[in-house]
Amino acid sequence: MQKVNTKLPAFVRQEGGSMEQKNLDQIIRETVARYMNRSLIVAGNWKMNTTPVEGVELFKGIVAKKGEVCSCVNFIVAPPFTHLSEIVKLSRGTGIGVGAQNCAAEAKGAYTGELSAEMIASLGVEYVILGHSERRQYYGETSETLNKKMAQAYANNLTPIYCVGENLEEREAGKHFDVVRQQVEEVVFNLTPEQFSKLIIAYEPVWAIGTGKTATADQAQEIHAYIRKVLAEKFGDAANETVILYGGSCKPANAAEIFAKEDVDGGLIGGAALKVSDFKGIIDAFN
Ligand code: PGA
């Protein structure tokens, strides 16, 4: 995973930026912490879409476009389980990471229909999405389950992409900060500092997922900065290095504005990841 972040620090971007007011140490510290050590990532969550044949086609289409987009961006694709083996093989040498969309909470045994983190990792998969709102909502995933899944992921060297986000009712009641704090505290706070250093977080407001409604860039920045602040309460400066992705109806038309925000390090993309041109258009937001 390369760590080259081409975004300019906010204090440089701001008109009439107050660089003089900051001493050199502070500038260096901020630049290094925020802009050198955080990867930019665009991850495609394919959900339960595409047959294996269609998935391979989609993946090949993405590979074909890779050379046309900024090399500063790391791509990840998370296809359905049935596609993983083939797509991992095709991904070799492309620099594109492959993730699963879920893993079992247990290591092995009589859990019909489940797939363990070990099975997934043995295919050469590097990432696993955990705590997606669809898993929380339709499959009853709780913090208790997610703590077990995180432990399985780390035990098998998978990097978790841990999703948090509030639903519409919670947003309208002004509870979004409390909701994400709870989702972070109940799971992420149980990690060791070493585990935490590998974690990727995705903020995905449930009301924006697949609805065509996106959080505004300012709303995204506000809550990303808040998540980073909560992480810092437990992990200190290491929180400056945590990649926090935005997800929820991210499209080529809105990605640039959202990704330009200081605490937004890329996106977790659903619907728009199923079309090569849209996925590429989103990655182009970094150009
Ligand atoms: P969407 O999904 O881009 O289709 O809204 C995002 C996600 O659920 O990861």
Beta bridge partners, 74, equal 41
| Atom 2 of ligand 1: nearest residue by CA position | 270
Total residue count of the chain as it appears in this document: 287
Q: What's the pLDDT score for residue 5?
A: 59
Helix ranges, the chain (H):
10-13, 24-31, 52-66, 81-91, 117-122, 133-138, 143-155, 168-172, 176-187, 193-196, 217-235, 252-259, 276-283
Tokens found for residue 256: 């640039």
Q: What's the token pair of residue 180?
A: 């994400």
Kindly name the residue from 132, 134, 141, 170 that is annotated as catalytic: 132
pLDDT tens across the length of the chain (287 residues) = 655 555 655 444 443 344 554 455 445 444 544 555 799 999 999 999 999 999 999 999 999 998 898 888 999 999 999 999 999 999 999 999 999 999 999 999 999 999 999 999 999 999 999 999 999 999 999 999 999 999 999 999 999 999 999 999 999 999 999 999 999 999 999 999 999 999 999 999 999 988 888 889 999 999 999 999 999 999 999 999 999 999 999 999 999 999 999 999 999 999 999 999 999 999 998 87
Tens-place pLDDT, residues 44-79: 999 999 999 999 999 999 999 988 988 889 999 999
Contacts of 192 (CB under 8 A, 6+ apart): none
Percent residues over pLDDT 70 in the chain: 87
C-beta separation of 214 from 248 below 8 A: yes
* Exposed / middle / buried, residue 93 (Cβ in 10 Å: 0-12, 13-18, 19+): exposed
Q: Annotated catalytic, 224? A: no
pLDDT for res 210: 85
Question: Burial letters for 249-281: b for 16+ Cβ neighbours within 10 Å, e otherwise?
Answer: bbbbebbeebbbbbbbbbbbbbbbbbebebbbb
Question: What are 113's two structure tokens?
Answer: 């229909």
At 84 the pLDDT is 98
Amino acid at 169: E
- Which residue among the candidates 141, 166, 170, 204 is catalytic per the annotation? 204
Residue nearest to atom 1 of ligand 1 (CA): 270
68 is catalytic: no
Closest to 162 (Cα-Cα) out of 192, 140, 133:
133
pTM of the prediction?
Answer: 0.89
**Residue 97 CB–ligand 1 contact under 6 Å:** no
Distance 107 CA to ligand 1 centre (A): 28
